Chains A and B, each alone.
Chain A
Amino acid sequence: MSRSTEGFGALARVLHWLMAAMVLAMLFIGVGMVTTVSGRYEWLVGIHKPLGIAILLLVLLRLGNRLRQPAPALPADMPGWQKLAAKGSHILLYVLMAVMPLLGWAMLSAGGYPIVLYGPIHLPPIAPHDAPLYALLHGAHVVLAYLLFATFLAHLGAALVHALIRRDGVFASMAPWPQRQVVPAPITPVGTSRQARAR
């Protein structure tokens, strides 16, 4: 059983893959920068802040686009819990993509730091200068960064299972290349037996 619709629209795909690269870069830059005392620290922090704010802007655009153009339905033979997990993890990814930059911004505000994006370009504070609040927001920024990475790993694993094992058109619906008109029938379908038998 495959996805019958056209898949995600071009804008959705462009945003998905652009933001996938940006979010992944942010996670790697984040854990890398806080564990180095070399000159890379300054360089990485200088990328982390504007790139994070760019993600915030893009996720707003993306959510707007998503509301205008809903996602194609998942294959009918996917077990209900998998559909639920897919939906839930996508919502979680959207939430984290919006919350992480807001936390970074608010945390720097609470720490009394200027929020410099590039040269003279800086953002106003969005939280009062308050050390315990800084500690709270910083803790959340770190914990949710790890949650984001874990969710991403599960998401990547699921995407690859769709692409390589189930071959059910789910990967193709978001693939960075345009979808072929006809989704080829699965060659080695596995793990769909329950639903298929039920029909």
Chain B
Amino acid sequence: MPDPYQPPGTPRRPLRQTLGLLARFGVISVVLAGTAGGFAYAGGWLSPDRLTPARIVDALSQRGGDPTGYRRNHAKGICFTGAFEANGQGAHLSTARVFVAGPYPVIGRFATATGDPRSPDAVNRVRSLAIRIATPDGQEWRSGMNSSPVFAVATPQAFYEQAVATRIDPATGRPDPAALQRFAAAHPETAAFAQWARSAPWTASFADQTYNSLNAFRFVDLQGVRHAVRWSLLPTVPATPSTPEELARLGPDFLAQDLERRLAEGPLSWRLVVTLAAAGDPVDDPTRAWPADRQQIEVGTLVVQQAESEDGGPCRDLNFDPLVLPTGIEPSADPILLARSAAYANSFDRRAAEVGATPMPHAGDQP
């Protein structure tokens, strides 16, 4: 096509100009491709091996049953409401409003650590308690605590491998025992957890269990000093040891039934005890317990007043993300703790989109 800016008689643009033009188009292409490529890299599309929240939650979703509409871990649970009554002692360790003496409303959830929302209670070793405490300054403290004294693994990668090892083999309908053995052999850090799982007594109740933060956190006091801590909820009712065989005879949902029975008689309470790390204690490894003689401070009481089915209950649409913390409490560098927040958000995204997709079972339903 003739160029109208060129005088007549020079129908073709000199070669140098054409090359220059090509080079400038080249620059534009490189800039655009580089920007798009950088975006793809940031989003993980170029690194399929990256351990993402989605990969972890995919693996958690394949451990039996249909978790559609439910949490992808600790899938089976029951909501409760109650209060945290602070005694004021925590205020020496942390500026968080929640430690100023007084009652604060709580929404919480008891659960069993399973991927299957219909799993029978007698097969699940780990039980959990999650709370959201709201304070008048508009801040919140969310915490998910487990009944084991230590966690099984120390890294998100190991957690992922564990989830994959407990994946249901479609051929047998159960996890592959060889995969589980291979996982245990490759992960000696699971020994303390496995020892607890083998030897700790089973009970028929959520009410008699201790629930532990496992991950370490930091309390920041008025002077700005940071204290490495873990916390536990200690039960106030005695435990009655049982066996999985005996428990299986109680039916699939004995934990929720026991809780409702007890609460019909009156509130249940737990003492919230904060343990302070000493220099050298592991603050980034939840597989290692701290020595038993560490200083402990009781900072208040959790009072559980009323239980409610998860179906439409107040806890269903909450994400007990352990990094929802008030000022005065900070996360530690524990990689498990930091991974939890990302994975919980992904699980929440999925189940929020699935609300109403499947009917939620009622506590009394028989499978």
Contact = CB atoms under 8 A, between A and B. Distances in A.
Interface in A112-160: 112-114, 119-120, 122, 129-132, 134-135, 138-139, 149, 153, 156-157, 160
Contacts of A135: 349, 352-353, 355
B264 interface: no
Given A35-B53, A37-B156, A164 B140 contact: no
A197 interface: yes
Interface string B20-59: 1100110110011001101100111000001111101000
B355 A131 contact: yes
Contact of A193 (B4, B44, B156, B355): B4
Given A34-B53, A39-B333, A113 B32 contact: no
Contacts of A149: 39
Interface in A158-199: 160-161, 164-165, 186, 188-190, 193, 196-197
B329 to A, nearest CB: 12
B215 interface: no
A27 interface: yes
B21 A190 contact: yes
Interface residues of B, number: 58
Given A139-B353, A193-B3, A193-B4, A35 B43 contact: yes
Contacts of A32: 42-44
B50 A153 contact: no
Given A28-B38, A153-B35, A188 B319 contact: no
B237 to A, nearest CB: 31
B289 interface: no
Contacts of A156: 31-32, 35
A80 to B, nearest CB: 19
A131 to B, nearest CB: 4
A45 B338 CA distance: 12
Contacts of A157: 28, 32
Nearest to B323: A42
A119 B137 CA distance: 12
Interface stretch (B117-125, B205-213, B340-348): B340-348
Interface size class of A (residues with CB under 8 A): 35 or more
A65 interface: no
A199 B348 CA distance: 61
Contacts of A120: 137, 139, 326-327
Interface in A99-114: 111-114
B139 A114 contact: yes
A28 B42 contact: yes
Interface string A16-58: 0000000000011001111111110110010000000000000
B352 A31 contact: no
Contacts of B348: 111
B342 A41 contact: yes
A197 B1 CA distance: 12
Contact of A35 (B20, B50, B323, B356): B50
Nearest to B38: A28
Contacts of A193: 1, 3-4
Contacts of B323: 42
A37 B56 contact: yes
B317 interface: yes
B63 interface: no
Contact of B50 (A36, A114, A196): A36
Nearest to A133: B352
Contact of A188 (B17, B42, B331, B353): B17
Nearest to B32: A157
A37 B39 contact: no
Contacts of A113: 319, 321, 324
B4 A196 contact: yes
A112 B338 CA distance: 20
B4 A197 contact: yes
B313 interface: no
Given A35-B53, A120-B139, A134-B352, A188 B156 contact: no
Given A45-B341, A188-B20, 4 more contacts: A27-B39, A34-B345, A165-B25, A197-B4
3 tightest A-B contacts by CB? A31-B43, A35-B44, A135-B353
Interface of A: 27-28, 31-39, 41-42, 45, 111-114, 119-120, 122, 129-132, 134-135, 138-139, 149, 153, 156-157, 160-161, 164-165, 186, 188-190, 193, 196-197
10 contacts: A31-B43, A41-B341, A42-B338, A112-B318, A120-B326, A138-B353, A157-B32, A164-B24, A164-B27, A189-B5
